[in-house]
Amino acid sequence: MLEFFINIDRNSIQPLFEQVYKEIRNRILTGDLQNGQKLPSVRKMAIDLGVGKNTILHAYELLLAEGLISSKPQSGYIIDFQDEMMLIESNHQQMTTFQSEGDKAEIIDFFYGNIESEDLPYSDWKQSFQKTLDQNEKTLLSLSNAFGEAPLREQIKNYVETSRGVTCDVDEIIIGGGIQQILFFLASIFKLDGIERVAVEEPTYNKARHIFGTLFQAPSLILSEEIDWQGLHSYKPQAIYVHTSHRGTETVFMSLENRLDLLNWAKETDSYIIEDDFESEFRNLNEIIPSIKTFDEGRDYVIYMGTLSSTLIPFAKISYMVFPKRLMQTMYQYKGLYEQPVSKLMQLTTAEFMKAGFFGNQLRRMRKKNALKLEAFKCCFEEYFQDRVHIFSKDAGIHLLAEIKVAKTEEQLVAEAARVKVKVYPTKGFWKNPAHRYPVLQFGFSGVSIEKMREAVQKLASIWLDEKNS
């Protein structure tokens, strides 16, 4: 068991549990603490530090929710930094490095956050970057706002109001380096606000399931085709996490009727809806459905979140969340829990990129191009797989899910694809109770040309449908 001392400042305005959490977190992320090492028990740590057991318990709960430690019966708390999404991104970065050293042309990578080099807005970004440096010399040296720089929050406010009908104030918006980080902060705020039960949509973003499932009782509910009212009424969640613009089911968008019904449920039960509007910017313009947040007139029930997709601003990994008014006091009370991961220079450059109209131009270009790619991709699957594939999410987005009708596992398909220099991604973590019979894989197509798309699908069909490989 580890023996280490944490210097607690009892005169600090920062809560004691937060000091303990941050100290352990930093030691894990810097490699000072290694996977497999055992943390002191809650009781021992509390005695050693001279604090209450609840202080240590809450710090450990935050570490659990972030995926930095695990809890095992009879074993206690173990450092277990095995973040699935971070491992995927790490593997992707390693592959990108490998490709740049001479083998790039051979590997076709369907990572969902890719973009073709010809689509990178280099000149526009360079112009925005230079202007930011020239006009913000003093600002760049000043203290940063933990929740994000005002110019970027103002641009996001304008963007969500124009594109999604979301009305909000600048101080209701927080900026993050990714959806996972913002969700973790929200879960912490929920916990501090006395919320105990959170439900997640089925299927869902696997890190959301992990975060909410660790800190709360978090069952999965079916909300895609029809709302599971029986599940909602029996479980009585105080918050529910949903996707409204891109879904892993037959229906890409949550219907307007379901959105309004869900909002009415939130009002009647005094609950929250966490609306993840991921990929809304790539929706079919002929089928625009307002976000749930649009109808939240009092701005009290819907927590709205989105991202400036890497296919739009590939130089910046930026996400955002719009908090409801009644959570604002708790949000600012525990501002110290939140560390802004996006540099001030990156935030201000992104704000300038949006203000100058470059973001809108890039969005229009990529929306049109990805719509063409999606149609081409579906045609390739139909040509080479025929009735051996079922495509989910047929109408919009930058990725699709494909159910491959073969007697193999996801792991086998991923391994076989790698043998023919094609990289695809599993979806097992999306479902808690999968209903599909065959393995489902994720294909991000925004970074693959139509020519390479066809080549990849042909290769996959030749190896996946070959019964000799079963």
Name which CATH class applies to 85-112+360-469. Answer: alpha beta
CA atoms 18, 20, 25, 26: torsion sign: positive
Helix (H) or strand (E) holding 390: strand 389-391
The CATH topology of domain 138-356 is Aspartate Aminotransferase; domain 2 (3.40.640)
pLDDT at 87: 38
22: enclosing H helix or E strand: helix 16-29
In this structure, the number of other CB atoms found within 10 A of the CB of residue 115 comes to 22
Of 234, 233, 254, 241, whose CA–CA distance to 215 is shortest? 241
Task: Give CA–CA dist 300/269, Å, rounded.
Answer: 12
> CB neighbours (10 Å) of residue 184?
25
Q: How confident is the model over 236-272, as pLDDT tens digits?
A: 999 999 887 655 444 446 778 888 999 999 999 999 9
Cβ-contact 324, 303 below 8 angstroms: yes
Domain segments of the chain: what residues? 16-79, 85-112+360-469, 138-356
Residue 400: phi and psi, rounded to 5, are: -140, 160
Identity of the residue numbered 92: H
Q: What is the pLDDT of residues 315-339, one digit of tens each?
A: 777 899 999 988 988 888 888 878 8
Give residue 304's pLDDT band: very low, low, confident or very high (50, 70, 90): very high
As separate numbers, helices (DSSP H) first and strands (DSSP E) second, the chain gives: 15, 15
- The three-state secondary structure class of 50 is coil
Whole-prediction pTM: 0.74
Neighbours of 433 (CB within 10 A): 9
Q: Work out the percent of the chain whose per-residue pLDDT is above 70.
A: 83
> 16-79: what fold?
Arc Repressor Mutant, subunit A (1.10.10)
Task: Give the integer Cα–Cα distance in Å for 452 and 284.
Answer: 24
Residue the block writes with tokens 């290694």: 34
Residue 112 above 50 pLDDT? yes
- Residue 298: which of 268, 326, 329 has the closest Cα? 326
Q: Quick: pLDDT tens for 53-84.
A: 878 887 887 787 666 888 776 678 888 875 44
Predicted confidence band at 179 (pLDDT cuts at 50, 70, 90)?
confident
The pLDDT of residue 153 is above 90: yes
Report the candidate in 338, 412, 400 with the shortest Cα–Cα distance to residue 373.
400
